[in-house]
Amino acid sequence: MRIGKWQFRPTLWPTVATLILLPVLIALGIWQLQRADYKRMLLAEYHRAAALPPVSLNAAVAGDSVASLPRYRHVHALGHYDGSRQILLNDMQQGSQVGYQVVTPLVLHPGGQIVLVNRGFIARTPGVKALPDVSVSADTRDVEGILGILPVPGLRLGKVRAPAGWPKLMLYPSHQTLAQLYGTQLLQPVLLLDAAQPDGFVRDWRPNIGFPPVRHDAYALQWFALALALVIIWIVVNSRHDANR
C-alpha cells in the first residue's frame, strides 16, 4: 500500500509479534476495567447494606435465616462477651502500624449460639512481648456492628493450629479451625463492632479491596496506550519512504 511518498509493506516477524502481543495488551486493559467495575460494585454494596437500619441477629438465628443476611448488613445482637476465650489476630496492619485485631466471642441470648465480634485494632508496642490487656466484662449487652468476615491471606500455607492457652495469638485462622475451638454453636459471619460501641479499639471498617477502582482505570489506560503504541510501531517499522516519488 502506498500513501504519497510512503510505502507500507508488512513484513513477517513484526506482523507476527504484533498479532500475538496486541490481543494480550487489549485483554489486560479490559481485565483492569472489569476489576474496577467489580470493586465499585463491592463499595456500593458496602455503603448500601451498611446504611440500612440494623436488624436483630438473634431473630435471624431463631428464624434460621442468618445465611440470607448479606455481608455488610448492619445488625444488633443481644448477649454477653466470653472474655475468657478471646483471639488476637497477629500481624494485622492499620495504616502504618502493625499489631493485633481483638476477636471476642459473644454468646447470644437465649439460645447460646456464638458470634465472633471483631472489637478492633491494637498497635503492637516495639520491644514489648507481653500481649495487650483485652479484658471485657460479661454483662448482658446489645452489640451493634456490620456483618463481615475475618481477614484472609492472599495465599494460605498449611493448616493454622491453635496455640495453648487464652487469649490465643493466631494468624489468619479459618472458620473450620475456630469451629474446633468454639463448637457447633459458632455462627459463620463475624460482627465488626461499630465505632460508637463501648469496649472496642481502633475501628475503621471498609471492604478490603486492595487497589481502589481508579487505580485499575489508570492501569487499563496504560495497557490500551501500549496497544496503540504497538500498532504505531508496527506501521512505522513496515513503512518505507520513497524519495523518487
Question: Digits of tens for pLDDT over the chain (245 positions)?
Answer: 556 566 777 888 889 999 999 999 999 999 999 999 999 998 888 888 878 889 999 999 998 898 888 888 999 999 999 999 999 999 998 888 999 999 999 999 988 999 999 999 999 988 888 899 999 999 999 999 999 888 877 555 556 666 778 999 998 898 889 999 999 999 989 999 999 999 999 998 887 777 889 999 999 999 999 999 999 999 888 877 665 55
Q: Would you state the pLDDT for residue 154?
A: 58
In terms of domains, do 124 and 34 share one?
no
Q: Within a domain: residue 165?
A: yes
Q: Within a domain: residue 94?
A: yes
- DSSP code of residue 148: E
Provide the strand spans (E) within the chain.
2-3, 6-8, 55-56, 74-81, 87-94, 97-108, 114-123, 140-148, 168-170, 186-193, 239-241
Q: How many domains does the chain have?
A: 2
In terms of domains, do 185 and 216 share one?
no
Q: Would you state the pLDDT for residue 193?
A: 96
Task: State how far the Cα of 129 lies from the Cα of 85, in Å rounded to an integer.
Answer: 20
Closest by CA to 59, choosing from 111, 106, 114, 104, is 111
In terms of domains, do 83 and 189 share one?
yes
- Cβ 69 vs Cβ 75: under 8 Å: yes
* Furthest-apart CA atoms within the chain: distance in Å: 95
Q: Would you state the pLDDT for residue 80?
A: 97
Q: Within a domain: residue 205?
A: no
Q: Within a domain: residue 73?
A: no
Closest by CA to 242, choosing from 1, 4, 39, is 4
What the block records as the C-alpha cell of 57 is 441477629
In terms of domains, do 228 and 169 share one?
no
Q: Would you state the pLDDT for residue 181?
A: 92
Task: State how far the Cα of 218 lies from the Cα of 185, in Å rounded to an integer.
Answer: 46
Quick check: pTM over 0.85?
Answer: no
Q: Which domain holds residue 228?
A: 2-40+212-241
In terms of domains, do 89 and 156 share one?
yes
Q: Within a domain: residue 158?
A: yes
Q: Would you state the pLDDT for residue 244?
A: 58
Q: Within a domain: residue 159?
A: yes
In terms of domains, do 88 and 189 share one?
yes
